[in-house]
């Protein structure tokens, strides 16, 4: 960050005991309001590089650092109205429109309300005052009501039709959904943006404004429609010149050859993130195999439970989804899966959990080694686990492995089993 010329605070403190840490956190909190920038906490990190290497990383963050968050600030404001918004999945969620208040140096006019159940549980009504908190000093959230202001307030009614397209909503549990996936603008725009995102199909130069323009001006109502766009059509859009139009056409063409995992993620299957998409690609190898997968085969995959499995089955049972995928293939989309060549070994295709500190491998090194052997690495021990590799000072995973009578290997046993490979 410093090398890029960005301003960085010079604050840095080394602590050697928990008491020193607590004292320093208290100090930072006491001076946070005097700083000329906002903070919501402090990062506590281990500064020994060897220990960092041993602890390693999860998919999202390092295991050798943690963010300590301060208590969020609260204030009161009045509920003026409720705005209902449509998400990519068609779920309609409420947002409270508030009388503007200052909270943590920011003017807050809107706050999160998750669903009607959340509204009723907190007793929120139109016209009443509410306690508002900026959770982690980022997202304003309503915590409860000021009881003395309820008397002249009115009930919040659940929506009956989609606020965007007017389609009658259906209720599923505590949530309301718009099923008009083809012509409901927010759903389609957000689906297109997700499909084109870097971690999905990586269509360069694609933004939400572009998706809105395509929906409104070119009548793009499905993902396959993207691949039917002509350069001449783009030239008629605002801010689309010769170069920008050609770049988008090129990016769409380039995206046709894509990794299977990226394509699965791009489809927007409920409850399927990037990692699960990769697990599915590794298991089924082709879209046809995945689309024909059974509930039983899905839940046999490490870290895929019943909820995710049901989401996948339900998704591919939708006629429109199947039609869209078939159209994409006809338009030249070719998801590919590259099988890593794995020599025959006792661990190929097995699920393994690693716990404790290994003498000869860092976390990243053992991960790479196991993947090269065709091992499915899991973060938790279950009946699906085949092996648990145990190092020094193992945690509860070792205990659970013994309880479930799963094969436990120490590092020496593991090394002997792979010798000569």
User: CA-to-CA distance for 229 and 257, rounded, in angstroms?
Assistant: 18
Q: How confident is the model at residue 339 (pLDDT cuts 50, 70, 90)?
A: confident
Kindly state the average pLDDT of the residues 32-56.
Answer: 86
Q: Is domain 351-418 classified as CATH 3.40.50.10190?
A: yes
Residue 126's pLDDT is: 96
Cα distance between residue 205 and residue 273, in whole Å: 23
pLDDT tens-digit readout, 281-305: 999 999 999 999 999 999 998 779 9
Q: Please report the pLDDT score of residue 148 as a whole number.
A: 92
Give how far Cα 357 sits from Cα of 51, 55, 169, 367, Å: 10, 8, 53, 13
Q: Worst-scoring range by mean pLDDT, 16-30, 138-152, 248-262, 284-298?
A: 138-152
What's the rounded Cα separation, in Å, for the pair 115 and 138?
A: 20
CB 89 within 8 A of CB 80: no
Mean pLDDT of 37-52: 88
Could you tell me where in the chain the CATH 3.30.1490.70 domains are found?
Answer: 18-69
Query: H-helix or E-strand containing 55?
Result: helix 49-55
Q: Are 181 and 187 in contact (CB under 8 A)?
A: yes
Q: Which helix (H) or strand (E) holds 83?
A: strand 74-86
C-alpha of 189 from chain center: 18
* Greater model confidence, 210 or 341: 210
Q: Alpha-carbon distance 88 to 200, whole Å?
A: 15
pLDDT at 421: 61
- Per-residue pLDDT, averaged over 398-414, amounts to 91
Once rounded to an integer, what is the mean pLDDT over residues 53-60?
76
Stretch(es) of the chain classified as CATH 3.40.50.10190: 351-418
Question: Span 185-255: which CATH code?
Answer: 1.10.150.20
Q: Which residues pair with 172 in a beta bridge?
A: 175
Assign 150 a pLDDT band (cuts: 50, 70, 90).
very high
Widest CA span in the chain: 79
- CATH number of the domain located at residue range(s) 18-69 in this protein: 3.30.1490.70
Helix (H) or strand (E) holding 22: helix 18-31
Chain centroid offset of residue 33 CA? 32
Q: How confident is the model at residue 136 (pLDDT cuts 50, 70, 90)?
A: low
pLDDT band at residue 134 using 50, 70 and 90 as cut-offs: confident
Q: Does the pLDDT of residue 182 top 60, yes or no?
A: yes
Residue 135 banded pLDDT, cuts 50, 70, 90: low
What kind and span of H or E run contains 82? strand 74-86
Residues of the chain with CATH 1.10.150.20: 185-255, 258-336
Q: Tell me which residue of 315, 336, 314, 211 sits closest to 263, measured CA to CA.
A: 336
- At 237-259, the pLDDT tens digits run 998 999 999 999 999 999 999 99
Q: How many CA atoms lie within 13 A of 18 on its CB side?
A: 0
Residue 259: the pLDDT is 96
372: exposed, middle or buried (Cβ count in 10 Å: 0-12, 13-18, 19+): middle
Q: Model confidence over 222-239: pLDDT tens digits?
A: 999 999 999 999 999 998
Partners of 134 in beta bridges: 140
Q: Which residues contact 75 (CB under 8 A, 6 or more apart)?
A: 101, 102, 103, 108, 131, 132
- Residues 65, 49: Cα–Cα separation, whole Å: 12
State percent of the chain over pLDDT 90: 62
Question: How much is the average pLDDT of 139-150?
Answer: 91
> What is the pairing mode between strands 129-135 and 175-177?
unpaired
pLDDT in tens, 343-393: 888 898 899 999 988 888 888 889 888 988 988 888 888 888 999 999 888
Contact 110, 95 (CB under 8 A): yes
- Higher-pLDDT residue of 339, 24: 24
Give the single-character DSSP code of 52. H
Among the four given CATH numbers 2.40.50.140, 3.30.70.260, 3.40.50.300, 3.40.190.10, the one describing domain 74-149:
2.40.50.140
Task: Sheet containing 351-355: give its strands across.
Answer: 376-377, 351-355, 387-390, 407-410
pLDDT score of 33? 79
Please state which CATH class domain 258-336 belongs to.
mainly alpha
Is the pLDDT at 37 greater than 90? The verdict is no
Task: Classify 142 as helix, strand or coil.
Answer: strand
* Percentage, residues of the chain above pLDDT 70: 98
pLDDT band at 336 (very low <50, low <70, confident <90, very high): very high
Q: Are 219 and 199 in contact (CB under 8 A)?
A: no
Q: CATH 2.40.50.140 in the chain: give the residue spans.
A: 74-149
A 10 A CB-CB count for 215 gives 18
The pTM score is 0.66
The per-residue pLDDT for 106 is: 83
């Amino acid at each position: 960050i410093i090398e890029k010329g960005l301003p960085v605070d010079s604050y840095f403190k080394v602590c050697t005991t928990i008491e020193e840490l607590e004292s320093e956190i208290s100090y930072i909190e006491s001076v946070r309001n005097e700083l000329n920038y906002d903070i919501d906490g402090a990062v506590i990190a281990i500064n020994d590089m060897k220990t960092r290497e041993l602890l390693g990383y999860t998919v999202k963050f390092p295991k050798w650092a943690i963010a300590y968050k301060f208590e969020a600030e609260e204030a009161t404001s009045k509920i003026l109205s409720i705005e209902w918004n449509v998400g990519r999945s068609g779920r309609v969620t409420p947002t409270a429109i508030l009388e503007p208040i200052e909270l943590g140096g920011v003017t807050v006019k809107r706050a999160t309300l998750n669903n009607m159940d959340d509204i009723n549980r907190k007793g929120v009504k139109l016209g009443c005052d509410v306690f508002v908190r900026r959770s982690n000093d980022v997202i304003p959230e309503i915590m409860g009501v000021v009881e003395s202001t309820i008397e002249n307030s009115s009930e919040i009614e659940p929506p009956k039709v989609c606020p965007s397209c007017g389609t009658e909503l259906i209720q599923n549990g505590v949530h309301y959904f718009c099923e008009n996936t083809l012509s409901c603008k927010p759903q389609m725009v957000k689906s297109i943006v997700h499909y084109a995102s870097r971690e999905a199909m990586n269509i360069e130069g694609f933004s939400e404004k572009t998706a809105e323009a395509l929906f409104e001006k070119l009548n793009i109502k499905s993902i396959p429609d993207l691949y039917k766009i002509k350069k001449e059509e783009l030239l008629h859009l605002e801010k689309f010149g010769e170069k920008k139009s050609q770049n988008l056409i090129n990016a769409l063409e380039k995206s046709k050859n894509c990794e299977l995992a990226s394509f699965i993620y791009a489809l927007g299957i409920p409850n399927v993130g990037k990692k699960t998409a990769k697990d599915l690609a590794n298991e089924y190898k082709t879209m046809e195999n995945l689309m024909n997968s059974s509930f039983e085969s899905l839940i046999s995959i490490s870290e895929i439970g019943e909820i995710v499995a049901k989401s996948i089955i339900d998704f591919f049972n939708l006629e429109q989804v199947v039609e869209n995928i078939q159209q994409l293939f006809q338009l030249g989309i070719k998801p590919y899966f590259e099988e890593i060549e794995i020599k025959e070994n006792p661990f190929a295709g097995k699920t393994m959990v690693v716990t404790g500190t290994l003498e000869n491998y860092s976390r990243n090194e053992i991960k790479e080694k196991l993947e090269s052997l065709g091992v499915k690495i899991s973060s938790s021990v279950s009946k699906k686990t085949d092996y648990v590799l145990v190092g020094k000072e193992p945690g509860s995973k070792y205990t659970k492995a013994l309880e479930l009578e799963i094969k436990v290997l120490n590092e020496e046993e593991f090394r002997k089993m792979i010798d000569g490979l």
